[in-house]
C-alpha cells in the first residue's frame, strides 16, 4: 500500500490467540472498513505507524510478537471504555481491610 494513502486495518481478538488481521485496505476501502466499524460500535484507534506495519501482514495473520505490548495496551483501553474488566477485577470495590 502506498505511503501517505489513508489505510485501515481491522483486528480480531478472541482472548485465546494473538490478534489477527481480519480486514485491510487503502483509500475508499479503508473508509468502508472504518464505516463498518462505526456501524457496529467498534472503537477506532488512529496510529499511522502501527497501521503501516500491520498493513504489511496478510489477512488471517496473527500480529507479530514484537507488537503484542502496543496492541495489548490498545485492547485494554478499549475494554475499559466498554466497561469490560478482567474476571475478578472490581474497579469500584471498597478496599479490603
Residue 70 lies in a domain: yes
Distance of CA 34 to the CA centre of its chain: 12
Do you know the residue count of the chain? Answer: 97
Q: What is the pLDDT of residues 9-55, one digit of tens each?
A: 999 998 889 999 999 999 999 999 999 999 999 999 999 999 999 99
Counting the structural domains of the chain, the total is 1
Residue 76's domain comprises: 7-81
Question: Does any domain span residue 93?
Answer: no
Q: Write the CATH number for 35.
A: 3.40.1690.10
Examine residue 87 and state whether it is found in any structural domain, yes or no.
no
How high is the pLDDT of residue 63? 97
Is 48 inside a domain boundary?
yes
d(CA 8, CA 30): 5
For 49-82, the pLDDT digits (tens) are: 999 999 999 999 999 999 999 999 999 888 888 8
| Domain assignment of residue 37, yes or no | yes
Amino acid at each position: 500500500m502506498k505511503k501517505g494513502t489513508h489505510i485501515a486495518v481491522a483486528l480480531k481478538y478472541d482472548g485465546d490467540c494473538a490478534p489477527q488481521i481480519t480486514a485491510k485496505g487503502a483509500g475508499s476501502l479503508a473508509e468502508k472498513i472504518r464505516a463498518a466499524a462505526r456501524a457496529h460500535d467498534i472503537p477506532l484507534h488512529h496510529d499511522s505507524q502501527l497501521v503501516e506495519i500491520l498493513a504489511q501482514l496478510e489477512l488471517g495473520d496473527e500480529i507479530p510478537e514484537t507488537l503484542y505490548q502496543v496492541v495489548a495496551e490498545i485492547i485494554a483501553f478499549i475494554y475499559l471504555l466498554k466497561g469490560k474488566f478482567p474476571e475478578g477485577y472490581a474497579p469500584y470495590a471498597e478496599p479490603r481491610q
